[in-house]
Structure 1
């Protein structure tokens, strides 16, 4: 009986010590000052945004200094501040146990660059406008014409299709949008016009173009064409 009492007292003492230590370390951790942030980019091969730019956004959010207690850091507010940047799609900000502020950045993905009068900007994968960056230029198709008309959504889908396809992404460098919504494209290595027509039956038209291209290169006739017409979904009409 006496042994059980001693054992229970020991267990209570150990439990009390654990609770005390946990409370003490938690309080100490909450009052720890955060250290200089680490910044990671998910798409580091396209550096539209630099570490310095993100660091400046963080400094502005903290009022010019990182000397602030962990329990006073509003991570959601920091994320909202970073996400307002017009080259950033999303961010995740979190604190490590040792007080390091870690920031993971996903930049917007450009799928085309638009030339409209004196203005130039990217179209991102979601179809929004994305400004140019002084740090990096994306290798994407150049788009001419009016993207503000009623055909613009279809044109964005066309540009997405080009971006997602390795062959098209490598070969299509120019897209001209005509007033009626029809499209003319340019190939990177050949001077002919690709008359795509309206943005309907896109997959079928592109498959026809790939088949034509493979055969024309093998037959060494590809340099003799001025126009490749894809309007007719069951055939490709070539003009010399």
Structure 2
């Protein structure tokens, strides 16, 4: 008569018990209802959105935190909904075993504010439109003239260069796009206009302007200038 291998039987029972417990816990976890929405922003600056605004977006798309089970929650859909919002650059949504729905938001960063006869809106670094926010007003250059969402692409390099440069972002307050495509910039501290020309050779033109400014600021005559022309790559032409 063969002896019963109790060691093998115990091993099999342990495996079945582990499978049962795993299945039981997985089922209970999937049936757990979302108990709380935790929303965090990557940056506390430029808060165009609030927790309540993001919370409402989530609730509108899954019916309320206290009424839905985790297994009914489509995280990819929620992320897509948030990513489609014009003020959100990237959203991450994930749930935890204790019933928390965690949301991490990266907001878009506006680089200019466009003002037309009938509308006003921001543009981000990629040229995407952002509506104005009642919660926050960004301190960015104002852009007027012959510009629209359709033709803004050639000017993005110019606007992004202003945004990323500490000196330019503090001193350039506005840009006028002429029908010819030339750009005229406005300085914060002085009355002269900066004739930038077409949005070409952007880095070189701004390098020339900064060199001129840091030299001219030592001379009180800078207050007498009416126009600073950057259209000529090799030199800066000033008019009084």
Q: Does the alignment reach a TM-score above 0.5?
A: yes
Does the CA-based 8 Å contact 2:112-2:123 persist in structure 1? yes
Corresponding residue number in structure 2 for 1:166: 166
Question: What whole-Å deviation, never above 9, does each CA across 1:29-72 have from its counterpart, x for those lacking one?
Answer: 11111112001112321111111111111111122453211101
SS class of match (1:68): coil
d(CA) in 1 for partners of 2:62, 2:105:
18
Corresponding residue number in structure 2 for 1:154: 154
Query: Which of 11-20 and 114-123 deviates more?
Result: 11-20
d(CA) in 2 for partners of 1:17, 1:220:
87
Query: Which of 220-229 and 128-137 deviates more?
Result: 220-229
Instruction: Report the Cα offset of residue 150 of structure 1.
Output: 7.9
Gaps of 5+ in 1: none
Corresponding residue number in structure 1 for 2:129: 129
Matches within 5 A, 1:36-185: 36-148=36-148, 152-185=152-185
Q: Does 1:23 align with 2:23?
A: yes
d(CA) in 2 for partners of 1:4, 1:122:
78
d(CA) in 2 for partners of 1:149, 1:38:
35
Instruction: Report the Cα offset of residue 104 of structure 1.
Output: 1.3
SS class of match (1:218): coil
Does the CA-based 8 Å contact 2:33-2:65 persist in structure 1? no
d(CA) in 1 for partners of 2:177, 2:3:
90
How many matched pairs?
239
Does the CA-based 8 Å contact 1:41-1:105 persist in structure 2? yes
TM-score for the superposition, normalised by structure 1 = 0.92
TM-score for the superposition, normalised by structure 2 = 0.92
Shift of the 150–14 alpha-carbon distance from structure 1 to 2, 3 Å rule, reads: closer
Query: Which of 134-143 and 218-227 deviates more?
Result: 218-227
RMSD: 2.1
d(CA) in 2 for partners of 1:54, 1:3:
66
Does the CA-based 8 Å contact 1:185-1:194 persist in structure 2? yes
Does the CA-based 8 Å contact 2:185-2:193 persist in structure 1? yes
Instruction: Report the Cα offset of residue 3 of structure 1.
Output: 10
Shift of the 138–4 alpha-carbon distance from structure 1 to 2, 3 Å rule, reads: farther
Question: What whole-Å deviation, never above 9, does each CA across 1:96-144 have from its counterpart, x for those lacking one?
Answer: 1222101111222211001111321111211022110010000000001
Shift of the 220–14 alpha-carbon distance from structure 1 to 2, 3 Å rule, reads: farther
Instruction: Report the Cα offset of residue 28 of structure 1.
Output: 1.0
Could you list the structure 1 runs, at least 4 aligned residues long, displaced by more than 6 angstroms after superposition.
Answer: none
Query: Which of 167-176 and 130-139 deviates more?
Result: 167-176
Does the CA-based 8 Å contact 2:157-2:202 persist in structure 1? no
Gaps of 5+ in 2: none
